[in-house]
Amino acid sequence: MSHNILLTGALNYSKDNIRLIGTMGFDVDFIQYETEKVENPGKYDAVVCNGLFLYNNIEAFSRLKYIQLTSAGYDRVPMEYIKIHGIEIHNARGVYSIPMAEWAVLKTLELYKQSKVFYNNQADKKWVKQRGISELYGKTVTIAGCGSIGTEAAKRFKAFGVHIVGIDLLKPKENYYDEFIHASHLKETLDKTDVLVLTLPLTEETYHLIDAQCFELMKNDAVVINISRGKVIDEAELTAALKGNKIGGAALDVFEEEPLAKSSPLWEMDNVIVTPHNSFVGDSNHKRMFDVIINNLKVWLNSDGKV
């Protein structure tokens, strides 16, 4: 028996991609923009989307049994409704981990090697040596969130000869971490942390987890790398800590409100690197994402997807 599936422009499907999904026993519909009102939402058994339910009431999808997200986070879907109604849901676990981990390492090195200074001097044709360059070797990198993104980051930082502390609710199985500390003890690790990498999901517990108290506990040359969600950090208190030289710098790909307001002082700080929620981009993402979609749909069809 065929199933009705809705795909959205959250992923750029090729004709072959859509054809392959059709051969699996799906009648496929596609909408480009998730802000569009979905016509006849009650006919769909499955959807592949990102922020579709921010603009379309999930209750109208009365037959919905399966959701595949193209995002790693679950913060754009009504999880309570999904759990109550027994809808199977999957995220894009592992799809964006490699480019995000590479971004974390890159931006840490840019802060340590003062790349912004050299770029500015190059633009001005100024030949000025910098004597305050730091080494990553021997430093302590604390990774808050030991999922696939955090673990890919740990794998790469390990090559630089750092001490890696993993922070999470559950101890990771991978051996890239030199030390594991339960999330409830995060603040106890900050006084020895040189680089704090945030890869946490946004939940009620992690909202503004990194606040003024954290910055007071950190070394004054420590740097913060945020590739999780902007609201994991209290942005006002981060800005104050940076202005007051309570920490050494920050590389931020996510913000409390996006796009970052032009009035934000973060744009103009010498010790801050701002990128527009771009760390997840990589040239192999499409293949990884489509493989996840196909593999998860196959499993679903062979189990709960049978009707």
Q: Exposure of 64 by Cβ count < 10 A (0-12 exposed, 13-18 middle, 19+ buried)?
A: buried
**Cα 25 to Cα 18, 38, 295, distances in angstroms:** 12, 22, 14
**Given 229, 237, 256, 286, which residue is catalytic?**
229
Task: Please say whether the beta carbons of 24 and 302 come within 8 A.
Answer: no
* Closest CA relative to residue 228, chosen from 270, 256, 192, 188: 256
Task: Please say whether the beta carbons of 101 and 282 come within 8 A.
Answer: no
Catalytic residue list contains 110: no
* Other CB atoms within 10 A of residue 6 CB: 24
**Given 59, 188, 205, 258, which residue is catalytic?**
258
**Given 76, 90, 208, 277, which residue is catalytic?**
277
Question: What CA–CA distance (Å, rounded) separates 68 from 70?
Answer: 7
Torsion from C-alpha of 113, 193, 208, 79, nearest 10 degrees: 100
Catalytic residue list contains 36: no
Task: Please say whether the beta carbons of 34 and 9 come within 8 A.
Answer: yes
Largest CA distance in the chain: 70
The residue type of 169 is L
Catalytic residue list contains 229: yes
Residues with catalytic annotation?
229, 258, 277
